[in-house]
Amino acid sequence: MRRRTWLCLGVAWVALAAGAVRGQDFYAPGYVERDGQSPGPSYYISHEEYNSLLSRLEALEQQPKKEGAAKAPPAEEWLEVGKNLDMTAVWRHGMWVESKDKAFRFHPGGRVQTDFVWLDAEDQVVTGPGGVGNVRDGFNFRRARFAMEGTFWEVVDFNTEFDFVNTADVDPLNPASQGDVINTPAPTDLWCQLTQIPAIGTVRIGNMKPPIGFEHITSSRFLHFLERSLAFDAFIGGLDNGFRPGVMILNNTEDENITWQLGVFKANQHVFGWNVGDGEYDLTGRVTWTPYYEDNGRHMVHLGLGASRRDLDEDRRRYRARTLLRQGPGQLHTPLLNILLTGDDETIVVAEFAMNWGPWTVQAEYFGVWLTDAALVGGANQGTAFFQSAYCEVLYFLTGEHRPYNRKGGSGASFTRVIPHTNWFCVPDACGGLCHGAGAWQIGVRYSWIDLSDRGINGGKAEDWTVGLNWYLNPNLKIQWNYSIADRELNGASDGIVHGFGMRTAFDF
């Protein structure tokens, strides 16, 4: 076979070369004269010889393809879990150390958020009956968390994260002051989960976010504004910072258009991940649907619905809405509204909407809350009281990026990390000038309102407008600027405006 191949190729090249050497064209097929002269027999290829040579060349061209097509693809490489534990390190917006089959993965990470806040308020809001008290400027490490997360034996995931700037009031019987508020570590995500369980999906056990609310499930690393809305602060964040111990199952359809989560948790009123008491459980679930999803989420529509039925811890419930700029430790934040009630149980329903349309992002949620046997502490039972809140925000990337959207997420679908088209940098070039990149720039506005008055319970009303500018220098570092103006209505004597400016430098890894 090889000899015939080389023979055919040799004949073709000899014929071509002969014409080229003598400055003649290669005449084929047939006999053609040039300038009235016969090319002669040494340049001539007959029709029969030409067709035969062409057929053999075509056959030779096709032969490797047929042989290649006949070969079976190499067998998939199967790796026995735990047999090869050699690990390599990669950077994936943080350092991951993992085995070849990713059955063993480990990520040491963290986040730090540094806030500067300047606040001011009208006199009656500060000093009037039921006023908010002194409104101060402040510097604060809003979050300083360190985490270890990963996978072992392929089907077990874990996350162990602690926040080192949670605060506690040393003397809770007296009003909090700078002298008796201290930082103390507290767990946030502290769980392990079993994955790939047939029909169920994943089972998670430990301290975690109950699955309710789009902005709640979205990590604090990826928030559009410095703080979540008034609704989250009053109904979800509470005194436990939005984390509770419990058990949760989570799963999604194969095409990832639908996710669902359902969990049972222990109600509490602190951030330390434990509680005791008979009953005092909450059942919380969430379903999300992506009816439209294109261009890897650059164009998408998200719909979600979450609900929670909660027994109250110690039969008490505090609803608190603070300014959406935090000028210090939690105990020293300026409250817009703050009411302490007794009750039997609480039902929360949250409707979610989010949309990406290229560089535009729209996000909105509505919260409805029913508190049974509601009463002011020491007051008469008012029956079932209804409170509500909502927000809507619109944002736009000036530099053309879009808001990345994770269709599964840790506890369901949510927004995730922004990746700038070009990272920020400014370095000298070889010609004495500067090479530079802009990073990603985003502007946005949010309207948030809350109503805590019903059935003779006057918890007040408040609304807030926040405008923001976000600068994503790279996927791990951003700077945010917010101006917030809030108007509260409580009793007429201390109603009015609280406004301010805040800046945050945030990085995570």
pLDDT, tens digit, 9 for 90 and up, residues 210-263: 999 999 999 999 999 999 999 999 999 988 999 999 999 999 999 999 999 999
- For residue 505, the Cα-to-chain-centroid distance in whole angstroms is 18
Predicted local distance difference test score (pLDDT) of residue 65:
53
Rounded CA-CA distance 398/199 in Å is 44
Count Cβ neighbours within 10 Å for each residue of 314-334 and write b for 16 or more, e otherwise. eeebebbbbbbbbbbbbbbbb
Predicted local distance difference test score (pLDDT) of residue 55:
75
Predicted local distance difference test score (pLDDT) of residue 378:
87
Predicted local distance difference test score (pLDDT) of residue 52:
74
Predicted local distance difference test score (pLDDT) of residue 76:
56
* Domains, the chain: 2-70 (no CATH), 105-508 (2.40.160.10)
CA angle centred on 214, ends 210 and 220, rounded to 5°: 80
DSSP H or E stretch at residue 12: helix 2-21
Low-confidence residues in the chain, pLDDT < 70: 1-50, 54, 61-78, 173
Neighbours of 21 (CB within 10 A): 8
Rounded CA-CA distance 104/469 in Å is 39
Token pair listed for 402: 């879009």
Rounded CA-CA distance 502/227 in Å is 10
Q: Which residues, 6 or more positions from 168, have their beta carbon under 8 angstroms from its beta carbon? A: 181, 182, 184, 331
Tell me whether the omega of the peptide bond preceding residue 210 falls within 30 degrees of 0, making it cis: no
Please, are residues 217 and 209 in contact by the beta-carbon 8 Å criterion? yes
Predicted local distance difference test score (pLDDT) of residue 63:
65
Predicted local distance difference test score (pLDDT) of residue 176:
77
